[in-house]
């Protein structure tokens, strides 16, 4: 079985898990109201397959924990606008285009804002497409301009399908790998060789969303995006 086919199979399993999570909890509240002025931190998060529009259950838990960890800093949130559908080869690239465009626009208008990029399940694959080495994304990659990386304080992916073939984002992204946490819940079949399907819907219960937020808050604390000046306004898409 090819790596590409293995990732696609993992995404199918991710869809099953996403439906289960949505059924247990219901729509995730998306606190994505745009700030009137530039925030200290902006979280850009892509939900999992078949979750209602917004951050999704895992994304909302991650954001809640991160806001608590960051204390007095202002935090704005953007929920990636994409179908998160079972047509993965169309859906994930659409998410990548939306996330990339939003991030580059934020860099252009708010260069001192520290950006946090995150995704769960298919949303993690969306993040892979814009941050990984294009050679590791089977021709579907839409990498952001290299200069954008200086404005991204941290990346958090959970239930990442690329990890199933031994390619976690920490290993396939020269620009973002060192500031990335890539978490797989035990024998979650979406991101491991295991067969514990319920594990894919338990990233909140097992504390991994909290762990991701802790990692990210540490990276944000030491980040100085204003040190990197970039004009990204002409590179969207």
CA distance 89 to 121: 14
- Asked if 145 and 107 touch (Cβ cutoff 8 Å), the reply is no
| 200 in catalytic set | yes
Q: Are 31 and 45 in contact (CB under 8 A)?
A: no
- The token pair at 88 is 């993965």
The label of the residue with tokens 């998306």 reads: 30
233 in active site: no
How wide is the angle at C-alpha 108 spanned by C-alphas 138 and 231, nearest 5°? Answer: 75
Of 188, 192, 201, 217, the catalytic one is 188
- For residue 208, what is the DSSP state? H
Separation CA 28–CA 10 (nearest Å): 23
Please identify which of the residues 100, 200, 217, 223 carries the catalytic annotation. Answer: 200
Distance, in Å, from the CA atom of 174 to the CA atom of 197, rounded to the nearest integer, reads 31
Smallest CA-to-CA distance from 199 within 65, 20, 62 is with: 20
Residue 106 gets the label, from left (phi > 0), alpha (psi -120 to 50) or beta, of alpha
Catalytic residue from among 39, 91, 114, 121: 121
What is the 3-class SS of 206-226, one letter each residue?
CCHHHHHHHHHHHHHHCCCHH
Give the active site residues.
Answer: 121, 188, 200
């Amino acid at each position: 079985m090819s790596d590409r086919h293995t990732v696609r199979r993992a995404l199918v399993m991710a869809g099953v898990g996403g439906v289960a999570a949505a059924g247990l909890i219901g729509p995730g509240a998306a606190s994505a109201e745009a700030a009137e002025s530039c925030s200290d931190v902006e979280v850009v998060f892509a939900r999992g397959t078949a979750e209602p529009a917004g951050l999704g259950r895992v994304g909302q838990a991650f954001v809640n924990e991160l806001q608590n960890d960051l204390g007095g800093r202002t935090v704005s949130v953007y929920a990636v606008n994409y179908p998160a559908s079972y047509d993965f080869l169309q859906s994930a690239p659409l998410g990548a285009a939306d996330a990339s465009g939003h991030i580059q626009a934020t860099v252009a208008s708010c260069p001192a804002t520290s950006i946090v990029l995150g995704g769960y399940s298919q949303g993690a694959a969306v993040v892979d497409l814009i941050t990984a080495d294009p050679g590791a994304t089977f021709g579907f990659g839409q990498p952001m301009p290299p200069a954008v990386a200086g404005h991204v304080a941290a990346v958090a992916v959970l239930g990442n399908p690329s990890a199933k073939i031994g390619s976690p984002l920490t290993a396939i992204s020269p620009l973002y790998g060192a500031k990335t946490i890539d978490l797989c819940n035990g024998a979650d079949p979406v991101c491991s060789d295991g067969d514990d399907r319920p594990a894919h819907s338990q990233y909140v219960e097992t504390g991994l969303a909290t762990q991701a937020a802790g990692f990210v808050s540490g990276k944000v604390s030491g980040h100085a995006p204003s040190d990197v000046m970039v004009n990204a306004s002409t590179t969207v898409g």
